[in-house]
Structure 1
Amino acid sequence: MHTSHLLVTGVGGHLGRLVAEQLIDAGATVPVVGTSRSPERLATLIRRGLTLRRADFDEPDALPAAFADAERMLLISTAAANAGPRRVRQHTQAIRAALQAGVRHIAYTSFLDADSTPLQALAADHASTEAELTQGPVGHSILRHAFYMEMLLTTLPPAIASGRLLSSNTRAGVAYVARADCASADAAALRDGFDGRRTLDITGGQAVSAAGLVRQLNDTLGTDIVAVDASRQDVAAHLAACGLPPPMAQMLAAIDEGLGRGAMARVSEDLERLTGARPTTVEAFLRDHRASLLAR
C-alpha cells in the first residue's frame, strides 16, 4: 500500500536535525523521512523513530529512490562550503529528482530578499534555486531566512574582548532570527498542507542596529561596550586583530557593509503566522548564551 511521507533533506546538519526533531515531537500524522549523506552517523534520530535514507545531491541518479513516496519535501540548502555553481547544481538535481519521484510540494530554505539583496555574493545561488522552483510545475513554499542569531556568537566575542563593536551598520537594523525558530517555521510549512505557491520571510520580530545591539548587550550581560562607526576595511582589521582568521574577518566585514545597506532589515510576521509563537528576542538569546559569550 502506498504511504505518503513528509521528507526533510540534510538532517545531519544543525537546521535539518532541529526540523526533524520538531516534527517527531509534534507527532506528525504521516511518517517522517530524513535524508543525509551519512545516515549511519545519526543513530539518535533513528532511535527517536525517524526513518533515514542516504541521499547525496552530487549523485543525482540515486535521488528519486531516496525521495520515493514523499508527498511534501523540505529542501534544506546545502552547506555554505558548496556556495556557487556547485550548490545551484545540487539543488537543481534535488528538485528535478523530487519531481521524478512524485513530490507534490517542495519547501526550500532560502535567503532573505534573495533576488534583490545587497549581499548578492551570498544570495545568488538561492535566487537561482528559487527560479527553478517558480518555473517548475509543483507547489512550493520558499522560506527566506534572515541571518541566524547564532552569528552573534562569532561577532560579539571580539567586541566583548576589546570593548568596541566596530560596524558600518550603526543605523540600519538586522532582523536576527534564532535557528530554532527557523526550524519551527520550516516544519510548520512542511506539514500545514498548503498546496499552492508562496514566498515567506522568516525573520525576528525586531530589526536591531549595531548601536541597539550594544545597548542590549550591555544591559543584559553587564558589559561596557561602545559602538564605533567604521569602514569595511577598519572592521576587517579590527576583527583580525581580535584573533579571527583574516579570511573570516574579511567575510564578516563584507557582510557588515551589506547589513549597513539594509540587507537584513525586513521584519515580517510570517514566522508567527506559521508557528503561532513569537520569535525569540535578541535579549533572550543573549541571556541564554551569557556564559558562552563571556567565556569567549
Structure 2
Amino acid sequence: MTIAITGVTGNIGSRVAELISQKGLSARHLARSPEKAKKYAKAELFKASFDYSSQTIAALKGVDTLFMVSAAEHPKRLQQHFAFIDAAKEAGVKHIIYTSFYNAREQSVFTLARDHAKTENYIKEKGFAYTFLRDNFYLDFFLDLCLENSEIRGPAGDGKVSAVAREDVAEVAAVLLTQPEKWLDRVLNLTGPKELSMSAIAETVSHKTKQVIPYIDETVEEAYASRRAWPAQQWEYDAWVSTYTAIKAGEQAGLTSDIERVLGRPAKSLEELLKDRAPKSFSSDN
C-alpha cells in the first residue's frame, strides 16, 4: 500500500509526516515547495500543487491512500481542490482522507466551511472511498489570540465552540493512514473535550498565565471595523468575522468521542494545551 501526504510544509501535514516516519512507514510527500520540507529516510518527496497537471498526476501515480490537507485559504480554493481531486482520479488514487470542517454545509455561517462541504461532495461524486476528518476550530488558534493579542475580540456572544487541539487532528490522521481500510466511507467529527465560550477561554488563559486577557464581545459592525486594521480582501474579512458569528449561531457546539475512539485517549483540553505550550511559564494551579 502506498500512502501520500499533502501539505508537508504546513502545520498538520508536517506533523502527520513526522508521525508516520516515527512509525517506520514509507510515504510519499507532496509539496508545492519541496525544498522547504523536512527530509525523512522512508519518504519520497515530490513537487506538486493543487492543480490538474502532468506533474501532479505523476506525483500521485501509484498512490492508494491520499491524505489531502485542505488548501490554504484562497478565493479559488474550491477550484484548486476540484482540480487536485481530478488529478488524483486520473492517477488512480483509491481512497482520500480529507481534512474537512465540523458541521460543514453549503449554507454554513462560517463562510470557509462551505468550500469544505462542496469538496466532500466532489470526492464522493468522483467515486473515491473517503474518510472525512471534520475538525472544529483549533484550540491553538484561540490560544494564540490570547497570547499574541492579549485579548479575544469578536461577535460570538455567549456561543460555545468545542475547539480541538491541532495535535489531536494530526495524530488521528496518522492512525488512519496506518490502517485506512478500517475507516472507509466514514465521517469523523473531531472536537475537544469541552464546549467553551470565548469568555471561558479568555478566563482560563488569564488564570494560567497570570495575565488579564479579556473577551470583547463586538457587534458584527464593530468586528468588521476592527479587522480593517489589517489590509485584506472582502472574502477574508467575511471569513474572520463569520468565525465568531458561527459560534454565536451554535454551529460549532457539540461534543463527540471520535478522537478517543481512534486514539484510545480523550481529546486534549485547553489546560493541557497550555501546559504543552510553555509548562514553565504558566501556573499549574487548578
TM-score for the superposition, normalised by structure 2: 0.85
- Larger mean CA deviation between 186-195 and 276-285 belongs to 186-195
Closer/same/farther in 2, CA of residues 261 and 292 from structure 1, 3 Å limit: farther
The residue number in structure 2 matching 1:178 is 165
Equivalent residue of 2:29, what SS? strand
Residue 24 (structure 2) pairs with residue 27 (structure 1) = yes
Deviation at 1:293, TM superposition (A): 9.9
Deviation at 1:236, TM superposition (A): 4.7
What is the aligned residue count? 278
Aligned to 2:198, which of 210, 215, 222? 210
Aligned to 1:245, which of 230, 236, 260? 230
Deviation at 1:201, TM superposition (A): 0.8
Write the deviation string for residues 245-268 of structure 1: whole angstroms up to 9, x where unpaired.
Answer: 265777533321221112321321
Structure that is richer in helix per residue: 1
Query: Which residues of 2 match residues 1-296 of structure 1 at below 5 A?
Result: 4-28=1-25, 31-42=26-37, 44-46=38-40, 48-80=41-73, 82=74, 84=75, 86-115=76-105, 118-157=108-147, 160=150, 165-192=152-179, 193-194=181-182, 196-237=184-225, 245=230, 247=232, 252-289=240-277
Deviation at 1:227, TM superposition (A): 4.0
Equivalent residue of 1:280, what SS? coil
Closer/same/farther in 2, CA of residues 235 and 121 from structure 1, 3 Å limit: closer
Matched AA of 1:179: R
Contact 1:88 1:125 in 2 (8 A): yes
Taking only aligned residues, the RMSD between alpha carbons, in angstroms, comes to 2.8
Equivalent residue of 1:45, what SS? coil
Equivalent residue of 2:196, what SS? coil
Deviation at 1:11, TM superposition (A): 1.0
Closer/same/farther in 2, CA of residues 13 and 158 from structure 1, 3 Å limit: closer
Equivalent residue of 2:71, what SS? coil
In structure 2, distance between residues paired with 1:216 and 1:237: 27
Closer/same/farther in 2, CA of residues 225 and 10 from structure 1, 3 Å limit: closer
In structure 1, distance between residues paired with 2:281 and 2:160: 22
Closer/same/farther in 2, CA of residues 227 and 121 from structure 1, 3 Å limit: closer
Deviation at 1:165, TM superposition (A): 4.4
Contact 1:109 1:144 in 2 (8 A): yes
Contact 1:175 1:207 in 2 (8 A): yes
Report percent identity of matched pairs: 27
Deviation at 1:52, TM superposition (A): 0.8
TM-score for the superposition, normalised by structure 1: 0.83
Closer/same/farther in 2, CA of residues 70 and 290 from structure 1, 3 Å limit: same
In structure 2, distance between residues paired with 1:236 and 1:89: 27
Closer/same/farther in 2, CA of residues 209 and 79 from structure 1, 3 Å limit: same
Contact 1:153 1:293 in 2 (8 A): no
